[in-house]
Structure 1
Amino acid sequence: MGWNFGDILDAVGPNVSPEAPAFIHGSRVINWGDAVRMTNNMARGLIARGAQPGDKIAIYMRNRPEYLMAVAAGWKARLTHVNVNYRYTPEEVWYIFDNSDAQTVVYASEFRDAVTEIRPRLPKVKTWVEVSETGEVASFAEHFDALGEEGNGGPLDIQRSGDDQFFIYTGGTTGMPKGVMWTHHDMREITLQGARKLGPVPETLEELAEATRRMPVGSRILPAPPLMHGTGLLTSMGTMMAGGCVITLEKPNFDAEELLTAIDAHKPQTLVIVGDSFGKPILNALNAAPGRYDVSSILTIVSSGVMWSHEVKKGMLEHMPQAMLSDGFSSSEALGMGNSIMTKDSEVQTAKFMLGERCKVFDENDQPVEPGSGKSGMVAIGPPNPLGYYKDDEKTARTFRTINGVRYSIPGDWCIVEADGTLTLLGRGSACINTAGEKVFPEEVEEALKTHPSVDDALVVGLPDEKWGQSVTGVVRLAEGASLDEDALRAHVRKSLAGYKTPKRVVSTDQSIRASNGKADYATAKKIAETTLA
């Protein structure tokens, strides 16, 4: 029947010490015994309320144990996970619930007003579950804790399938968010492919249960980015399915000092971030108070999704010399395109990745790009891949294409393949700027801007221009105490990049130009540039 995440939890859960921590959130600790009992009860309760295999369970909350417990309950009940961006407006949240055909919604009480506003237009949602710290829930909702206490806590007696689905809604750079459809088995196989290179791995549920019984203590992970996005969620899922402990932060917005305090207190071995947008604040906090935080437990720092610069990696290793920095080149629809590993003894340059075993690079005519040719191409990753985008056959056909008999996922990431087989990432084609007939990938210019000491963060957008078609325009957040010097920044970029890639204008802002997961918010950056230069 293939790997199923619910079956994996049924194999792992009873074989972890019931007193071992499964989730830590500030002073709250939920042990494995309670987590197994509550998620079993919740799964059975959702089925009793009408949920059928394949129905969608949408989860609308910030990082907290209940997010992952709802995910686990959904797996056990054979429901399909749907992530919801809590930064969205009520209308955008309605779109996700409606587009996904959500049957169950689990939400935090802080979003009760938004849910109340859109609920009349969501007739397909049959069960609303509210996570409330006060005990009060909306009149139309079930209480999360009460649902978890309803029953004997035993496992469900149901047959699951490796074809059960798991959705990751991704915003991308253009258009409305789309639900990427993965099967449990295919997503699990990608994880196992990497693990098999390191040694034998459990290949059956019985072997997994036995390995869990022999495990002296589970690993601990601290995901800094939101669980509503792939980087934080997928890494946390892996730890949960290995009988480990997931540590989440309490503050609504990322705070580097809170993170370092949690590392000091709870000793995770793995830290998950999203590039420089998390790495820089962490590095600044470490530099501001050398020796204040014990970060010696960190053995691996995992990042994916945005640029993680060499300078920031090097600085972090000065404080955590024991750590291995794993920089993944992936997207929700293309897991495992490439990876780079940096340690104190082995450095790598920004945006340089080793091509994954399932990957190839094709030009616009679907011809392979020869290493060392200097030609750019699009990264394509072979199976296992998602089934496609939910209810969007057109986008599915554009992204998932068959070349020479192999079905590839080609999300639009452009790169150059070096003679040694490594990739130098250029950027996503949908964000590419066409200026006077030349292609400019924003990420390349952004990295050049960010190496200037006055710049804390930068995004680059294309604005309409009568002469150039589009003009390359930089939007920067300045370092504390710095002032904007456009000419100096343009000259700095010009030292490392061609003239046509140099921004025609650079503007500064105090607004955030990143989404909560650290990814670029190009729409906001473009509005800032348009307003400033109007």
Structure 2
Amino acid sequence: MEEALAVEAPMVLLACGPMMHGGSQWILGNGHVAGQTVALYTEPTFSAEGVLDLVEQARVVSLTFLGDAMGRPVAEAILAEPDRWDLSSLAAVSNGAAPLSDGVREEIRRALPGRFVLDTYGASESGAAGSRIDDGSEAPTGAPRFTVDDKVEVFAPDLTPCPVGVEGLLGRRGAVPLGYYKDPVKSAATFKEIDGVRWAIPGDFARREEDGSVTVLGRGSVCINTGGEKVHPEEVEAVLLRHDEVFDAVVVGTPHERWGQQVTALVQRREGSTLDEEGVRAHCRALISNYKVPKTVFFVDEVPRTPVSKVDYPASAALAATLLSTGQV
């Protein structure tokens, strides 16, 4: 035993997010069950430098982000000062809560070459439903695609499986909760019994691909209907984040007399950037269909996010409405 302890490196896990978030609780639970060490980041606000200090100090082996809002600052801190931290213990980077955009994943590759990068998709109601391992190859532009097992299905409105290429609601069977605490209405809307099998259907739209994988398009509650076309904000946000001068971005629908809603982007530029509205649209037109390109772009100091780093869509929509009413750009 002593010899094994001498030659085997201990598994030290670190979740960047607060313990109020299910993703961080998941890491803590995994470490507890497996007898591993979990390093706790306890600062009141997120700091990329603080996270990297802890990685070095605790000799962290696996680091977990909660989406772009954590992944990008950490990657950029490393790229800005590549010799500041000893990160030789770090073997893997994982991500949960919100998928990493292509642009942020590319930054993590550059900052941490040779590391194992795992992106997962899931929800509190469904648990982990899909994963994608970064192998260094070019990923399809836009919405993220995940490998799933036979417990995952894409359902049409009548709760029949969607054929390949057709959008529907993503569901997962297996260890499904009994419901939300004291909320029978929401429970009935989310947890469905189909042919005697209980499914969790949290409200994410997805599309089954030819190879059996699933492209996750985003939450239906924030979907934009512009001129009869549906636009999922997450897809446009992923494209915006591929621009070298864009640090963060959120996309919302705002009222439009002709189209009902228009695609509107709130963009946080990198320091010193002179990127303008037309530059943003030209970048998007080269990667996505024209109807998905933001009709209006507002440059903001910071994108509204929740305490657990997810995009705050209600706050973003309210900010966009205010900026529209005052004519700011």
TM-score, structure 1 length as denominator? 0.57
1:325 aligns with 2:111: no
Q: 2:242 aligns with which of 445, 451, 454?
A: 451
Return the offset for 1:529. 0.8
Q: In 1, Cα distance between the equivalents of 2:251 and 2:111?
A: 31
Q: How does 1:178-189 map to 2 (within 5 A)?
A: none
Match of 1:411 among 181, 202, 223: 202
Aligned partner of 2:184 in structure 1 is 393
Identity of aligned residues (%): 38
Shift of 1:238: 1.2
Amino acid at match of 1:237: G
Q: Please tell me whether the aligned partners of residues 103 and 241 of structure 2 are also in contact (alpha carbons under 8 angstroms).
A: no
Contact 2:102 2:242 in 1 (8 A): no
Q: Mind listing any 5+ residue stretches in structure 2 that lack a counterpart?
A: none
Which letter does structure 2 place at the counterpart of 1:452?
H
Does residue 308 in structure 1 map to residue 106 in structure 2? no
Q: CA deviation at 1:393?
A: 0.7
Answer with 1 or 2: which has the greater Rg: 1
1:355 matched to 2:148? The reply is yes
Q: What residue in structure 2 maps to residue 222 of structure 1?
A: 14
Q: Judge conservation of contact 1:509–1:528 (CA < 8 Å) in 2.
A: no
Query: Of residues 53, 65, 70 in structure 2, which corresponds to 1:261?
Result: 53
Alpha-carbon RMSD across the aligned residues, in angstroms, is 2.1
Q: Given the alignment of the two structures, is residue 288 of structure 1 paired with residue 68 of structure 2, yes or no?
A: no
CA change 1:379–1:257 in 2 (3 A) is same
- Of 249, 273, 279, the residue aligned with 2:41 is 249
Letter in 2 for 1:354: T
Take 1:310 and 1:462, find their aligned partners in 2: how far apart are those partners?
23
Deviations 1:376-410 (A, max 9, x none): 11111002111111111111111111112211101
What is the aligned length? 319
Are 2:282 and 1:491 aligned? yes
Shift in Å, 1:490: 1.5
Distance in 1 (alpha carbons) for counterparts of 2:292 and 2:175: 37
Describe the shift of the 1:339–1:226 C-alpha distance in structure 2 as closer, same or farther (beyond 3 A): same
1:234 aligns with 2:31: no
Give the SS at the match of 1:377: strand
Q: Is residue 368 of structure 1 aligned with residue 161 of structure 2? A: yes
Which of 261, 265, 275 does residue 474 from structure 1 map onto?
A: 265
- Contact in 2 for aligned 1:283/1:316 (Cα 8 Å): yes
Per the TM alignment, residue 348 of structure 1 is displaced from its structure 2 partner at its CA by: 4.5
1:357 is displaced (CA, Å) by 3.2
- Which one of 341, 355, 378 corresponds to residue 169 of structure 2? 378
Partner of 1:270: 62
Distance in 2 of aligned mates of 1:455 and 1:479: 6
- For residues 34-53 of structure 1, the C-alpha deviation after alignment (integer angstroms, 9 at most, x for no partner) is xxxxxxxxxxxxxxxxxxxx
More helix by share: 1
Equivalents in 2 of 1:442, 1:302: separation in Å? Answer: 23
Query: For residues 205 and 67 of structure 2, what CA distance do their matches in structure 1 show?
Result: 19
Counterpart-to-counterpart distance in 1, 2:32 and 2:159: 39
Q: Which runs of 5+ in 1 are unaligned?
A: 1-212
Q: Aligned letter for 2:126?
A: A
Question: How high is the TM-score relative to the length of structure 2?
Answer: 0.91
User: Of residues 128, 133, 139 in structure 2, which corresponds to 1:336?
Assistant: 128
What is the distance in 2 between the residues matched to 1:240 and 1:284?
A: 31
